[in-house]
């Protein structure tokens, strides 16, 4: 199974960092937040990723093209230019597809643009490149398969500044990104989607949360998996510092890998 990760936005609310790099490459504990998210999936043997690139996508390409060298000891013979990458370090068993989905393409449009990369996949994972959680991906997938609908969104109980999701049983009946009150379950990312989801995305201008998710909700095709554990986005410097403190103190709840 593949995981699609949104990695192309401008990250304007984290501009102190994203003026130089794309938001998924902002580091927590000396590693890009993207690396943390991929490790969460990797814990459950989801090791093939499609990254939807846009803003400063070359930064992400460079990171993965040189990943082996960046994470190994290296010897450089300056007189000849010969480079030796030394064995010994353990590297993740990941296959990473780096797909340019346009500079200004919206979130739903970015997913639509990688449809051909998923043509042989009945079901796939989909999430944002800036949120971490101690989520049980196996339990999430089991829930998705149990209800037979097109889409599952992981819902979480976050700070009050986020939007709201309403339920009837496990079916999502209301999806409001910016309501007046936000004391209920909200979108935490970590979606499971069937390939029919592409019928609900119109094109590059479709914002995932405003178009496709609203259409899926009206069609009764969006179900919500309740995750009551740890979840945090990294939208602001304050949130970055919070995650950094957790990692430094060795109390990062999302570190579920060895």
Query: Over the stretch 166-216, which tens digit does the pLDDT of each residue have?
Result: 788 889 887 776 554 545 788 999 999 999 999 999 999 999 999 999 999
| pTM of structure | 0.88
**Residue from 47, 91, 37 nearest 68 by CA:** 91
Give mean pLDDT, residues 64-88: 89
Q: For residue 220, what are its two tokens? A: 């009764």
pLDDT band of 160, cuts 50, 70, 90: low
Can you tell me the distance from the alpha carbon of 215 to that of 33, in angstroms, rounded to the nearest whole number?
Answer: 30
Q: Which residue has the higher pLDDT, 160 or 12?
A: 12
Can you tell me the distance from the alpha carbon of 190 to that of 230, in angstroms, rounded to the nearest whole number?
Answer: 13
What 195-202 contacts at long range (C-beta under 8 Å, 24+ apart), as own/partner pairs, is 195/118, 195/119, 195/121, 195/122, 195/123, 195/124, 196/150, 197/111, 197/150, 197/151, 198/111, 198/112, 198/115, 200/150, 201/108, 201/109, 201/111, 201/112, 202/108, 202/112
Whole-number percent of the chain with pLDDT over 70: 94
Determine which of 76-80, 90-94, 245-249 has the lowest per-residue pLDDT on average: 90-94
Looking at domain 2-248, its CATH class is alpha beta
pLDDT band of 87, cuts 50, 70, 90: confident
- Would you state the pLDDT for residue 180? 47
Query: Over the stretch 89-147, which tens digit does the pLDDT of each residue have?
Result: 778 899 999 999 999 999 999 999 999 999 889 999 999 999 999 999 999 999 999 99
The β-bridge partners of 128 are 6
What region does 144 belong to: left with phi over 0, alpha with psi -120 to 50, or beta?
Answer: alpha
């Amino acid at each position: 199974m593949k995981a699609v990760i949104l990695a192309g936005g401008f990250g304007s609310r984290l501009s102190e960092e994203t003026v130089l790099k794309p938001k998924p490459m902002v580091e927590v504990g000396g590693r890009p937040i993207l690396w943390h998210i991929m490790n969460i999936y990797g814990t459950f043997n989801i090791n093939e990723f499609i990254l939807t690139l846009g803003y400063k996508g070359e930064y992400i390409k460079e990171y993965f093209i040189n990943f082996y060298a960046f994470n190994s000891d290296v010897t450089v013979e300056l007189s000849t230019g010969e480079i030796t990458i030394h064995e010994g370090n353990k590297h993740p068993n990941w296959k990473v597809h780096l797909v340019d989905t346009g500079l200004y393409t919206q979130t739903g449009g970015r997913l639509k643009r990688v449809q051909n990369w998923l043509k042989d996949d009945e079901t796939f994972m989909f999430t944002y490149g800036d949120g971490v959680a101690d989520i049980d991906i196996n339990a999430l997938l089991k829930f998705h398969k149990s209800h037979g609908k097109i889409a599952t969104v992981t819902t979480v109980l976050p700070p009050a500044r986020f939007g709201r999701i309403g339920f009837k049983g496990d079916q999502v009946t209301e999806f409001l990104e910016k309501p007046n009150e936000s004391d209920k379950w909200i979108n935490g990312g970590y979606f499971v989607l069937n390939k029919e989801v592409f019928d609900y995305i119109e094109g590059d201008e479709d914002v995932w949360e405003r178009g496709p998710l609203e259409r899926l909700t009206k069609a009764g095709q969006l179900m919500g998996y309740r995750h009551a554990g740890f979840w945090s986005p990294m939208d602001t410097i304050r949130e970055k510092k919070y995650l950094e403190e957790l990692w430094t103190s060795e109390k990062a709840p999302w570190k579920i890998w060895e």
